[in-house]
Structure 1
């Protein structure tokens, strides 16, 4: 198996990306280090491993996306609870328009992945042209690291919610997801996938750099950046919903609290509720280009600590050692 590029080659790659852009994204992709092993080969762009087909949509985000001060951006590392966060954020911010009852969009045909526009996913509801036309306040989502978003995200003062997860659980969830997308003759082996993940070779990885970029931004701008762990939502979803509502500047009123609205939001957006709906089990969510993902693939277990059912003690220690080394001194612990 090919090895990840050295630090010097990473620097060279960053220099290439920082130069004047080639004539097309295809020209750029051809200059980047490429490596296989996951469902599709990835290329190293500005020190992150990315789907090469997605680059033509990622690069314009940094160059042309114009954040508004009242934007809300939901940023997540893949398989860290993106679907749940989208459902919660959409329900909290639109509760004045959509009653938490049988006619709610999430209960009548809309998948959580479809109700929040994704910055780097070219769907009818979520490409940059469509996002530019969205009325404010805009609720947006991304898997991009902070360094691939425009500096104006910080300068504009828009709010960012970042959601991460215990890396061992995030890895297990990604391994399942990748194998569902894998079209090869045999599945991606668990131990080989774990080695790649520990090297920092995974989509939108290295995972530790992704986490740390937003963690440092949260330390620098605590009023505009809310940093959450999946485990926090799982442990006390009602309190997290209250936190989100306050952060979104739409706190629950005393009357809403009396009526149990925060609890209703949690119930409506729960794993059991959403995963059991017929429209979330059949059909696909188009992710642009050749990427089509089955709607049911966004609901697996959602359990904290599921890694214990998959990893040996040696495997867990291998990833724990990476976590300890990469997050040392940052204040971010798992």
Structure 2
């Protein structure tokens, strides 16, 4: 069995965090020990990184945070945000000459709790935030992440996806980085964990609701986007994203076809075909090509039974009742 990535382990915990963990609800899954902190389940090393972030991060008002539940289109969102900002800052003849051609989106936009604060409580932020605005990302729910933002007005974009598709994508991703055969028994175990709300970054419904409520309370700071809408109306949604970030496409840019160029550059077909994404790895030794699979809406129908579909839909309907959020 391949060694677990550092964020899933429990070998980088301070004594203070060990004491905290002893007071928290705890569970164990096939990958390691989980604890529930501020309503969300984390592996121990990830919790340590999260606390490091909450305690030590010094945000700038211009920072932008890209948030999502795992396997909900995070790579695509990162790529689009990078392309929008890079095209706005550059004055070269080719406005699409930027880091996406030589680095994976996850290498360009770091996760607070997976990349930046996992190894140390005081990372060198200069290598993560050399420009303004700086892009960061997270899988934390909004209320937890905002503790690290310390009342900064920086903008937050949340991408939400049908959790059934996210579950299938997560299943494939887990099997790949653990070098395991894609097996139904693993999916069944993940399905049961999801339904119980006890899995890494779960419960999903509370996660989505944290950002949904934030977008209603402060729509100028929190943008709630849906993966399915990005698939059905990509032109409209990428313009919406650019406007929210403060870098709207000009009429001239639209007429020149730049919006479509951004969409093509960030397409699954193009990104997965780049050499860096076919052969490269993240610093945690995860293959870059693991982040590109199908990207389809409704692919879950090929894997989940009608009974599994019904159970998930009933849970989501119950948990979101009265919120105004429909998934």
| Aligned match of 2:99 | 105
User: How far apart, CA to CA, are the structure 2 residues paired with 1:58 and 1:183?
Assistant: 27
Q: Aligned runs of 1:85-124 on 2, under 5 Å?
A: 85-95=77-87, 96-97=89-90, 99-101=94-96, 103-107=97-101, 109-122=102-115
| Residues 184 and 155 (structure 1), Cα distance of their counterparts in 2 relative to 1, 3 Å cut | same
| Aligned match of 1:17 | none
User: How far apart, CA to CA, are the structure 1 residues paired with 2:69 and 2:307?
Assistant: 25
| Aligned match of 1:302 | 295
| Aligned match of 2:209 | 212
Find the residue that maps to 1:304 and give its secondary structure.
coil
| Aligned match of 1:250 | 247
Deviation (angstroms), 1:299: 0.6
Of 14, 36, 42, the match for 2:34: 42
Deviation (angstroms), 1:225: 0.9
Deviates more, 1:151-160 or 1:216-225: 151-160
| Aligned match of 1:81 | 73
Deviation (angstroms), 1:132: 6.1
Deviation (angstroms), 1:52: 1.1
User: How far apart, CA to CA, are the structure 1 residues paired with 2:182 and 2:171?
Assistant: 14
Find the residue that maps to 1:110 and give its secondary structure.
coil
Q: Deviations over 1:116-141 (max 9, x none)?
A: 12211235999763336724321111
Find the residue that maps to 1:141 and give its secondary structure.
strand
Find the residue that maps to 1:117 and give its secondary structure.
coil
Unmatched 5+ stretches in structure 1: 1-20
User: How far apart, CA to CA, are the structure 1 residues paired with 2:157 and 2:119?
Assistant: 18
| Aligned match of 2:225 | 228
User: How far apart, CA to CA, are the structure 2 residues paired with 1:125 and 1:31?
Assistant: 22
Deviation (angstroms), 1:56: 1.8
When the two structures are aligned, how many residues end up with a matched partner? Answer: 308
1:141 has 2:141 as partner: no
- Residues 282 and 295 of structure 1 are in contact (CA less than 8 Å); yes or no, is this contact kept in structure 2? yes
| Aligned match of 1:53 | 45
User: How far apart, CA to CA, are the structure 1 residues paired with 2:287 and 2:180?
Assistant: 18
| Residues 208 and 284 (structure 1), Cα distance of their counterparts in 2 relative to 1, 3 Å cut | same
- Residues 39 and 181 of structure 1 are in contact (CA less than 8 Å); yes or no, is this contact kept in structure 2? no
Unmatched 5+ stretches in structure 2: 1-12
Q: Aligned runs of 1:149-298 on 2, under 5 Å?
A: 149-151=145-147, 153=149, 155-182=151-178, 188-287=185-284, 292-298=285-291
| Aligned match of 1:328 | 321
- Residues 172 and 307 of structure 1 are in contact (CA less than 8 Å); yes or no, is this contact kept in structure 2? yes
Find the residue that maps to 1:140 and give its secondary structure.
strand
How does the TM-score come out when normalised to structure 1? 0.84
| Residues 151 and 277 (structure 1), Cα distance of their counterparts in 2 relative to 1, 3 Å cut | same
User: How far apart, CA to CA, are the structure 2 residues paired with 1:245 and 1:252?
Assistant: 7
Find the residue that maps to 2:15 and give its secondary structure.
coil
Deviates more, 1:297-306 or 1:149-158: 149-158
User: How far apart, CA to CA, are the structure 2 residues paired with 1:314 and 1:121?
Assistant: 34
How does the TM-score come out when normalised to structure 2? 0.86
| Residues 254 and 51 (structure 1), Cα distance of their counterparts in 2 relative to 1, 3 Å cut | same
| Residues 299 and 161 (structure 1), Cα distance of their counterparts in 2 relative to 1, 3 Å cut | same
Deviates more, 1:133-142 or 1:275-284: 133-142
- Residues 38 and 202 of structure 1 are in contact (CA less than 8 Å); yes or no, is this contact kept in structure 2? no
Find the residue that maps to 1:75 and give its secondary structure.
strand
